[in-house]
Amino acid sequence: MTHKYQNVEFTTQQSAFVDITQPNPLKATFSSRKVNVKVDGGQFPMVRAQVLAQQPFMAVPCGETCGTELTRSVKLEVNVEKGGASITELRAEVIRLFDQAMTDYGLAEGYVPPAYANFTE
């Protein structure tokens, strides 16, 4: 599937893009800000960032006679040291855990991995 995003919002700490190729367009919102965390009498530079993907869909619980638009979404948040050297490894591990929880433990059905879950790679 081809995607083409167009910017619909921009500020210093946030921008948003909409996929103009889809009938129910996905909106991707990016936000990021630098923060200085106080540690041992000094400050340490950190970055808090988020990517949020949202897409509307029609919920039709009673057949074709009624319907309500709802929004599905996925959000990825990070809180890392400025420069983000650790972000690549953390992101890869979160995606791996998410995929396994979806596949093996029914995360999309409303279940969390049980105590005996095995996430060994």
**Contacting residues for 102 by C-beta, under 8 A, at least 6 apart:** 108
For the chain, give the percent of residues with pLDDT over 70. Answer: 99
Q: Same domain, yes or no, for 19 and 46?
A: yes
Domain that holds residue 110: 86-121
pLDDT on residue 98: 96
Q: Same domain, yes or no, for 46 and 104?
A: no
Q: Same domain, yes or no, for 54 and 71?
A: yes
pLDDT for 117 beyond 90? yes
**CA angle, corner 43, sides to 41 and 44, nearest 5?**
135
Q: Can you give the pTM of this predicted structure?
A: 0.83
The dihedral over CA atoms of 26, 68, 59, 22, expressed in degrees to the nearest 10, equals -20
The residue that leads in pLDDT, 90 or 8, is 8
Report the CATH number that the domain containing residue 21 is assigned in CATH: 2.40.160.220
Q: Same domain, yes or no, for 40 and 95?
A: no
Q: Specify which residues 42 forms β-bridges with.
A: 39
> Can you tell me the distance from the alpha carbon of 68 to that of 82, in angstroms, rounded to the nearest whole number?
42
Q: Same domain, yes or no, for 51 and 21?
A: yes
State mean pLDDT over 57-68: 81
Q: Same domain, yes or no, for 74 and 46?
A: yes
Q: Same domain, yes or no, for 9 and 46?
A: yes
Number of separate domains in the chain? 2
Q: Same domain, yes or no, for 22 and 4?
A: yes
Q: Same domain, yes or no, for 50 and 99?
A: no
